């Protein structure tokens, strides 16, 4: 299945241009720009990276090296609901591995994959900064789902929507 082609929408372009004056150099708006794109499209395709580069006066590689350096950006499509499970120490102690396995069983895909209909993907992430409410899960860039119980993965999936 080929992915639809994407371009920078006018609203995202406006949001990026509104970000630029906050910094002495336009390049500093890059991380926020990529967040805006990902919130709209779900990932940051190469074609859009080139548009952002042109907008901020950068070479395309200067955008791409940032996209590929930071775990929160995806160059390729992930599921519409990208379920990120923290597997670091506090969450691991609270049973994060069981949460991951439960999601894999119910969705029929492994970590790093997305379901055939493109609805879900599972990702293991490092500490989300919610150690007091382990296990912590984040879907896309929405507020955390906290205190996830490893024996209640069905409840988690209902919350994920």
Minimal distance, residue 107 CB to another protein, in Å: 19
Site for another protein in 99-158 (CB under 8 A): 125-134, 138, 141-144
Which C-beta is closer to another protein: that of 35 or that of 152?
A: 35
Rounded Cα distance, 85 and 12, in Å? 28
Rounded to the nearest 10 degrees, the angle between the axes of helix 46-56 and helix 30-41 is: 150
Give, rounded to a whole angstrom, the gap between the first and last alpha carbons of the chain.
24
Tell me the three-class secondary structure of 137-150, residue by residue: EEECCCCCECCCCC
The nearest distance, CB 153 to another protein, in angstroms, is 15
Q: For 94, which DSSP code?
A: T
Site for another protein contains 95 (CB under 8 A): yes
- Using CB under 8 A, list all residues that contact another protein: 22-25, 27-32, 34-35, 56, 58, 62, 65-66, 69-73, 87-90, 92-95, 97-98, 125-134, 138, 141-144
């Amino acid at each position: 299945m080929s992915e639809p082609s994407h371009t920078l929408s006018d609203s995202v372009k406006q949001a990026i241009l509104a970000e630029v004056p906050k910094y002495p150099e336009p390049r500093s708006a890059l991380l926020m720009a990529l967040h805006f794109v990902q919130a709209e499209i779900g990932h940051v395709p190469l074609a859009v990276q080139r548009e952002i580069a042109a907008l901020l006066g950068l070479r395309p590689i200067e955008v791409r090296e940032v996209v590929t350096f930071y775990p929160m950006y995806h160059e390729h499509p992930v599921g519409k609901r990208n379920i990120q499970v923290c597997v670091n120490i506090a969450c691991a102690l609270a049973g994060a591995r069981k949460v991951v396995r439960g999601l894999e069983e119910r969705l029929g895909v492994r970590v790093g994959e997305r379901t055939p209909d493109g609805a879900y993907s599972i990702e293991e992430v490092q500490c989300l900064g919610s150690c007091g409410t382990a296990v912590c899960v984040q879907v896309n860039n929405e507020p955390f789902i906290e205190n996830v119980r490893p024996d209640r993965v069905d409840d988690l999936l209902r919350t994920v929507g």
